[in-house]
Amino acid sequence: MGRKFEINLIKVLYLFGISSFIYLIKKPLAKEWLLVFFIKSYYASLVDNLVVKRGYVQYPTRFPKQVKTSVLFDYILFPITCVFYNQLTKDSRIIQCLLKVLYFSIPMSIAELWLEKNTRLIKYKNGWNWTTTFYSLSFSLLLVRFTMSVIRRIFNNEYDLS
């Protein structure tokens, strides 16, 4: 795949992410979904910065160039995916949450593996591989889901997140 393809793919994914975000904030419980979005962005930025600094993952083609991590993934696509996961599991029990996380982490891991093999958007280094991606994505989605369940319990009577 050429650089032009990669740049166009990044543009399409930015457009997809922005339009998904607009759709997301029009849903009921928009405040709750925005909270999920920002919590996930925060977690993703911390983890991705650490992973990049330690040399496990590299983003050779990225926008903006000044940032070593993937702004598109950390601040748009992954948080939006996490919101959709939280919407899907809002009333689910723990076993259902564990099963439904696979709906997201498997396709995302496959997509990232394809990107790693066929583009210069992401490169695995120092032992990082698709299974590490799969486990980290799954854990991250579950962590935000758990965080939101704790927030709902703490503020259930004091603050309505809807």
CA dist 48 and 70 (Å) reads: 8
Q: What is the pLDDT of residues 74-87, one digit of tens each?
A: 999 999 999 999 99
For residues 74 and 45, is the Cβ–Cβ distance under 8 A? Answer: yes
Does the residue 162 lie in any domain? no
- Residue 147 DSSP SS3: helix
Does the residue 120 lie in any domain? yes
For residues 7 and 60, is the Cβ–Cβ distance under 8 A? Answer: no
Angle between helix 78-89 and 94-118 (nearest 10): 160
Does the residue 161 lie in any domain? no
Confidence of residue 157 (pLDDT cuts 50, 70, 90): low
Residues 6+ apart with CB under 8 A from 40: 78, 79, 82, 83, 140, 144
Does the residue 67 lie in any domain? yes
CA dist 37 and 1 (Å) reads: 31
Does the residue 36 lie in any domain? yes
Residue type at 46? Answer: L
Domain that holds residue 32: 3-155
Instruction: Provide Rg for the chain, Cα atoms.
Output: 16
Global pTM reads 0.89
Does the residue 59 lie in any domain? yes
Q: What is the pLDDT of residues 93-131, one digit of tens each?
A: 999 999 999 999 999 999 999 999 999 999 999 999 999
Domain total for the chain? 1
